Amino acid sequence: MGKAKNPRRVADNEAMAKTRMLRVSPQKLNLVAAMIRGKKVEKALTDLTFSKKRIALDVKKCLQSAIANAENNHGLDVDELIVAEAWVGKNLTMKRGRPRARGRFGKIMKPFAELTIKVRQVEEQV
């Protein structure tokens, strides 16, 4: 018997990967995500490799995971993949503090973010 298979959350020519609990603010992560949106995956990987942003390494790992999902799980051609979407969401925030003058307490917020990357196979125009 068993349960019926869940329908795919993405189209037949798409694959995605998600990374949670990235120790960076969503605003800073979105700058790196915007850098790769709409590009071919080879160009996006090159841009992330040579980026000076600290979080670019984690974004690159997520993109490589999406590429591997496309190739192994969905049988898509890696040479025809583009970064269709890359969006950023908030995650939890660690609250820390530091004593300040006159008995006050300075709040230090340490935010986490999550990243979702969707790659899509497009046929090259000849």
- Indicate the domain borders of the chain: 14-121
Looking up tokens 């490589």 gives 64
Per-residue pLDDT of the chain (126 residues; tens, 9 = 90+): 789 988 888 999 999 999 999 999 999 999 999 999 999 999 999 999 999 999 999 999 999 999 999 999 999 999 999 999 999 999 999 999 999 999 999 999 999 999 999 999 998 765
Q: Which of the following CATH numbers is that of domain 14-121: 3.90.470.10, 3.40.50.360, 1.20.140.10, 1.10.3090.10?
A: 3.90.470.10
> CB neighbours (10 Å) of residue 49?
10
DSSP string, 6-63: PPPSS-TTEEEEEEEEESS-HHHHHHHHHHHTTSBHHHHHHHHHT---TTHHHHHHHH
14 CB contacts (<8 Å, ≥6 apart)?
A: 70, 74, 84, 118, 119, 120, 121
**Per-residue pLDDT at 84:** 97
DSSP 8-state code for residue 2? -
Residue type, 73: N
Give pLDDT, residue 55.
97
Q: What is the pLDDT of residue 18?
A: 97
Q: Would you state the pLDDT for residue 125?
A: 67
pLDDT at 83: 98
Task: Provide the residue count of the chain.
Answer: 126
